[in-house]
Amino acid sequence: MNTLLNILLRTSLSAALSDREAFVDRAAQIIEQKVGSDTDAAHAMGERIAEMMESVDQTLLIRQLLAPPPPAATEELEKKIDELTQAINRLNDNLEKIKL
């Protein structure tokens, strides 16, 4: 999934669930109006919807954490590793000169 889309979706889920109680109450209201179920059943369905949204948010987070880095980041990392390797080699050379 596109990284930007992932971030936007996770942000919207977090915003919707920032006040979980208000979200559940509003979802229960809508369910009650549209389906005509009783208040307790609608509230229970609202709770399940909130739980599912939290699960989706956690799944997106895990996918984002496990996604491979973009190619540009990999190239930059390789460049930094090469620079570090060169610096270590210079340090080793200097230490060898000091020993002699």
Give the helix/strand (H/E) hosting 43: helix 39-66
pLDDT at 90 (0 to 100): 93
Residue % of the chain over a pLDDT of 70: 98
DSSP state of 67: S
Task: Output the CA torsion sign for 34, 39, 40, 44.
Answer: positive
How many other C-beta atoms can be found within 10 angstroms of the C-beta atom of residue 32? Answer: 18
According to the model, what pLDDT value does residue 85 have? 94
Give pLDDT, residue 70.
Answer: 72
Note the pLDDT of residue 1: 55
Question: b/e per residue, 58-81, with b = 16+ CB within 10 A?
Answer: eebeeeeeeeeeeeeeeeeeeeee
Q: pTM of the predicted model, to two decimals?
A: 0.59
Kindly report the average pLDDT of the chain as a whole number. 86
Residue 33: other Cβ atoms inside 10 A: 10
Q: Which residues contact 43 (CB under 8 A, 6 or more apart)?
A: 24, 25, 28
